[in-house]
Amino acid sequence: MNGYGNSVFLRTAWEVSGGVPPVNTVAPAITGTAQEGQIVTCSTGTWTGTPTITFAYQWTIDDNNIIGATNSMFKITVEEVFKNLSCNVTATNIFGSAVKGSNTVIPTE
- 7-51 confidence digits (pLDDT tens): 444 445 445 567 999 999 999 999 999 999 999 999 999 999 999
The secondary structure of the chain, three-state, reads CCCCCCCCCCCCHHHCCCCEEEEEEECCCEECCCECCCEEEECCCEEEEECCCEEEEEEEECCEECCCCCCCEEECCHHHCCCCEEEEEEEEECCEEEEEECCCECCEC
Average pLDDT, integer, range 59-83: 98
Judging by DSSP bridges, how do beta strands 20-26 and 96-101 pair with one another? Answer: unpaired
Helix (H, G, I), strand (E, B) or coil at 101: strand
Length of the chain: 109
Domains and CATH numbers, the chain: 18-101 (2.60.40)
Give the pTM: 0.83
